[in-house]
Amino acid sequence: MASPSIITLTSPGSPAALAPQTDSFYGLTREALEAWCTLHGFSRVHAKTLFRSAYKALNPEPWSAPSLPRACAALLPLSLSSAPLRLVAEQRSGYDHSLKFLVGLAGGREVEAVLMPETKRLTLCLSSQVGCAQGCVFCHTGRMGLIRQLSTDEIVGQVLLAERWIAAHPEWLQQVRLPASTRISNIVFMGMGEPLDNVDAVIAALRILSDPFGLALGLSHISVSTAGHLDGIERLYAALPKARLALSVHSTDDAQRSRIMPINKRWPLTEVVDRLRTILGGEGPPVLLQYTLIRGVNDRLEDAEQLARLSQGLNAKINLIPLNVVGPSRLSAPSPEAIKAFRDLLCSHGLRVMVRYSKGQDIAAACGQLVRDANSQSGSSSSGET
Active site members: 112, 367
Q: How many residues bind ligand SAH (CB under 6 A)?
A: 17
The DSSP call for residue 55 is: I
151 binding ligand SAH? (CB under 6 A): no
CA distance 260 to 293: 12
Total length of the chain: 386
Site for ligand SF4 in 138-167 (CB under 6 A): 139, 141-142
246 binding ligand SF4? (CB under 6 A): no
CA distance 386 to 381: 15
Return the ∠ at Cα 368 (arms to 210 and 373), rounded to 5°.
Answer: 100
292 binding ligand SAH? (CB under 6 A): yes
Closer residue to ligand SF4, CB minimum distance, 165 or 291: 291
Q: Smallest distance from the beta carbon of 326 to ligand SAH, in angstroms?
A: 5
249 binding ligand SF4? (CB under 6 A): no
Closer residue to ligand SF4, CB minimum distance, 79 or 248: 248
For residue 358, the cross-strand partners are none
| Residue 323 contact among ligand SF4, ligand SAH, none, beta carbon within 5 to 8 Å by kind | ligand SAH
299 binding ligand SAH? (CB under 6 A): no
Site for ligand SF4 in 100-139 (CB under 6 A): 132, 134-136, 139
Backbone dihedral angles phi then psi of residue 60, each to the nearest 5 degrees: -70, -15
Q: String of b and e for 74-100 (b: at least 16 CB within 10 Å)? A: ebbbebbbbbbbbbbbbbbbeebbbbb
Out of 201, 217, 236, 321, point to the residue binding ligand SAH (CB under 6 A): 321
Which residue has its beta carbon closest to ligand SF4? 142
Nearest to 55 by CA among 28, 20, 36: 28
Nearest to 158 by CA among 178, 133, 184: 184
320 binding ligand SAH? (CB under 6 A): no
Closer residue to ligand SF4, CB minimum distance, 53 or 225: 225
Pairing of strands 129-131, 287-293: unpaired
Site for ligand SAH in 116-145 (CB under 6 A): 138-139
Chain residues in the site for ligand SF4 (CB under 6 A): 132, 134-136, 139, 141-142, 193-194, 227
